[in-house]
Chains A and B, each alone.
Chain A
Amino acid sequence: MSRIGVFVCHCGENISRTVDVERVAAYAAQLPGVAYATDYKYMCSDPGQNLLKKAVAEHQLTGIVVAACSPRMHEKTFRKAAQAAGLNPFMCDMANIREHCSWVHENRDEATAKASDIVRLMVERVKRGKVLEPITVPVTKRSLVIGGGIAGIQAALDIADAGHQVVLVEREPSIGGHMAQLSETFPTLDCSQCIMTPKMVDAANHPNITLYSWSEIESIDGYIGNFSVTIRRKARSVDEDKCTGCGVCMAKCPQKKIPNVFDRNLGLRTAIYVPFPQAVPNTPVIDREHCLKFKTGKCGLCAKACGPQAIDFEQQDQLVTEPVGAIVVATGFDLYSIDRKPEGSSIEGYGEFGYGTIPDVIDGLTFERLASASGPTGGKILRPSDGKEPKQVVFIQCVGSRAREKGISYCSKICCMYTAKHTMLYHHKVHDGRAYVFYMDARTPGKCYDEFWRRAVEEEEAVYIRGMVSRLYQRGDKVVVMGSDTLVGVQVEIEADLVVLATAVQAQPNADSLAQKLGISYDKYNFYSEAHAKLRPVECATAGIYLAGACQGPKDIPDTVSQASAAAAKVMTLFAKDQLEREPIVARVNERNCVGCFACRKVCPYGAIEEKEIRDRQGNLIRTVAHVNPGVCGGCGTCQATCPSKSVELDGYTDEQIVAMIEAL
């Protein structure tokens, strides 16, 4: 039997001016289940709270309704007071008779009647309230960082510096990511390798960081504070412990003409290789597809040459499992290969720009490799077809980006700046050359960005043509670029020696499958979704998983590093406590009634619904039902509204409470 106490607050005169609080209290007093009702000038004041506490003891109250301001204002206050009086805090609710009543209605009778109704509804709610205990979840203070580009390295270093273990997983043989491929960086033109490689080394040498390169995420189980990650360590065919990185193996390898992906296929590498000289770890990997030993069984020259006997042709993939409490996803981006429509993609190709068919049409990242001192040309700008220095270079921006009709409507954000950078690098290296840029708009928000762009235009002699290119074609050894200058209103035709396309920044090709393993959501471009665009830009909706860098959307290096540190800070916040404590407004499954249709799982925004097997005493599977992981559940209740048999129920907002309120309307 409920014994509810109702406390009607005057809020000075804020409520009592329009609501007859005494009448409301008197009305409340005669409601079934109400044991005590009174009114008071300021319920939130110390005397008001004491009044409440005293009443709980004197009248053996089992629940409290404070009719006062909005619960958004003082729910915490009164729940704390109720708790201090020995009640479960969730047995205390507020009837909002100020914001929703006295402040918005002038007529005293109407406002009083409405206030009485609101109190009645809340009494019905509290009568059916349940004692709820806070939910605690233990936290494993180790973190996983997926992706060893600048975002992953930064996040890993920050977390490791805070004293927590980090597992850093990189798919490629070396960490470094796209930043390691860049020549110079805007807006300062400092050498990318010079600022990147020390960080790579720091990450590899950090006592708190376990680096798994040439490794991929196999599966992820668990939830915030308690993930279990299985990592596939792909067979390198080289024993990392034995290898000294001397490089003799590569020198001996007879397969020397394999296009190097790191150099955008401009340079060549051996079958046993490190992708670039500053690779971390500096342990080679055997490309089994091209290695003669793997292809024909004959060769093995590298193994013979290897002093420490590190070559191991028998090596197999290994699965390692790591317990972690938090995950930072930093898997970066890919550039759109624009020559044709990828199978199953909604994005149209750009065949008209000759990419993939005209050798001297390249993308921005390829240009970076041409301009890089450690690149295949040693930093000389030489075009791919004949190795000649191009005298006229056309840069085309927004290739793929901002083209709704081609399937990508977003701006890739970095192209305006890097194209400006490219014109400068080109100008610095080919003094008699001329750079043309076709652009739609120049977007340069960022510290010192517009100044940098203006420098390209005003000091470095780049010719900016506002307009799009309609067609490209090969004529002799030239690439003819036909476009329009929309500012002047004339057709333009340029005989270029080299064309550089600023192609769209895209999500990684397998971004969706990783998202599915992680149970995080992604947008229609496969960029990972943050929990809130403005206020939770670093967190995933799935608790305990954080985002850093371009996997979330196009980003430049400063933004990427900022977000990586922010993600690290979120991880450290999580790790600051031994246990996670959260409000117990979570869904619960009635396992007796659940028939396992998993409609709840289909609508759950948090991936909080798991399968649970119900077995008999002999261990035979009787049925599979839904189970809510309270550590992951966000408490929205969408599952309950979806469940046909109402076998899942949201604590704090049960059907019984809601229906009782509706019936008391």
Chain B
Amino acid sequence: MEHDFEPKIVAFVCTWCTYAGADLAGTSRMQYPSNVRVLKFPCTGRIDPVFILRAFQKGTDGVLVSGCHPGDCHYMAGNFHARRRFAAFRQLLEFIGVDLNRLQFSWVSAAEGGKWVEVVTELTERVRAMGPMVEFKELEMEEHWSGKLDSPELKEAYQNI
């Protein structure tokens, strides 16, 4: 199906549960939108909020963070620490004015290929309906000294970045 807007979705996942769950979706030949790019971490505990921020800054329209269900963490407690960290961080982003519909957290186990497909599909469709994440992108384009870009060359150069 053709869409006007294909959102860029990035998924930060832990290697033990969600990455394996996504593998299972593959071995089960399930189908889901191709928008998502997966970045593998040892554990959700390793995922720094800065990564999410950076992804938005660099033009990502939606971010998924996914790991092991509570109690299943390969490292016992990484996902518990991550849960608190992201509970706080999402509140901060919302307070800054980021629409949290662009940021999804989930627990997807190695056995939940179906859930992976469901989570990724839902986020992709939701973000697609919302349109591009323009806020951070606009900031990237802004210069301080005049409030806007003055030369057309610079403008074009920015667009290429």
Given a CB threshold of 8 Å, the question of whether A touches B is answered with yes
* Contact (A637, B29) CB under 8 Å given A121-B39, A665-B10: no
Q: Mark B76-89, 1 if CB is under 8 A from A, else 0.
A: 11100110010000
Q: A659 vs B48: C-alpha distance in the bound complex, in angstroms?
A: 10
Chain A residue with minimal CB distance to B27? Answer: A99
Q: Which of B23, B40, B55, B75 contacts A662 (CB 8 A)?
A: B55
Question: In the assembled complex, which residues on chain B have CB atoms less than 8 Å from the CB atom of A655?
Answer: 48
Q: Are A541 and B76 in touch, CB under 8 angstroms?
A: yes
- In the complex formed, the residue of B with least CB distance to A535 is B74
State whether B31 touches A659 (Cβ < 8 A).
no
A107, B33: Cα distance in complex, Å: 10
- Residues from chain B with Cβ under 8 Å of A99 in the complex: 22-23, 25-27
Q: Tell me which of A110-118, A236-244, A380-388, A549-557 binds B.
A: A110-118
Q: Are A70 and B26 in contact (CB under 8 A)?
A: yes
Give the residue among A117, A531, A585, A665 with the most B Cβ atoms within 10 A.
A665
Q: How many residues of A contact B (CB 8 A)?
A: 48
Query: Is A585 within 8 A of B42, CB to CB?
Result: yes
Most A CB contacts (10 A, CB to CB) among B31, B46, B59 go to: B46
Selecting from A151-159, A353-361, A366-374, A638-646, the interface stretch reads: A638-646
User: B24-56 interface mask toward A, CB cutoff 8 Å, 1 = contact, 0 = none?
Assistant: 011101111010011111110111110100110
> Interface residues of B, CB < 8 Å — how many?
44
Complex: A219 Cα to B73 Cα, angstroms = 29
Compute how far the CA of A653 lies from the CA of B58 in the bound complex, rounded to whole angstroms: 20
Kindly state whether residue B131 has any CB partner on chain A within 8 Å. Answer: no
Complex Cα distance A634/B45, Å?
12
The CA-CA distance from A106 to B29 in the complex, in Å, is 10
Complex Cα distance, B58 from A532, in Å, reads 38
Q: Which of B19, B23, B55, B78 contacts A665 (CB 8 A)?
A: B55
**Complexed CA–CA distance, A657 and B81 (Å):** 22
Q: In chain B, what residue has the closest Cβ to A643?
A: B48
Contact indicator B39/A605 (Cβ below 8 Å): no
Structural contact, A659 and B39, CB atoms closer than 8 A: no
- Contact between chains at B38 and A100 (CB < 8 Å): yes
Alpha-carbon distance A638/B79, docked complex (angstroms): 9
In the complex with contacts A72-B23, A662-B54, A105-B46 CB distance below 8 A: no
Within 8 A of A (CB), among B52-107: 54-55, 58-60, 71, 73-78, 81-82, 85
| A606 closest partner in B (C-beta) | B75
* Contact between A653 and B46, CB atoms less than 8 A apart: yes
Cβ-defined contact, A638 with B10, below 8 A: no
Check B32–A104 contact: CB distance below 8 A. yes
Q: How far is the CB of B126 from chain A (nearest CB, A)?
A: 19
Does A292 sit within 8 A of B, measured CB to CB? Answer: no
- The yes or no answer to B20 lying at the interface (CB within 8 A) is yes
Contact B23–A638 (Cβ < 8 Å): no
Seed contacts A70-B23, A72-B19, A118-B38; 9 additional CB < 8 Å A-B pairs: A96-B38, A100-B38, A113-B34, A531-B76, A603-B81, A636-B73, A653-B42, A659-B51, A665-B37
Interface residues of B (CB under 8 A from A): 8, 10, 15, 19-20, 22-23, 25-27, 29-32, 34, 37-43, 45-49, 51, 54-55, 58-60, 71, 73-78, 81-82, 85, 117
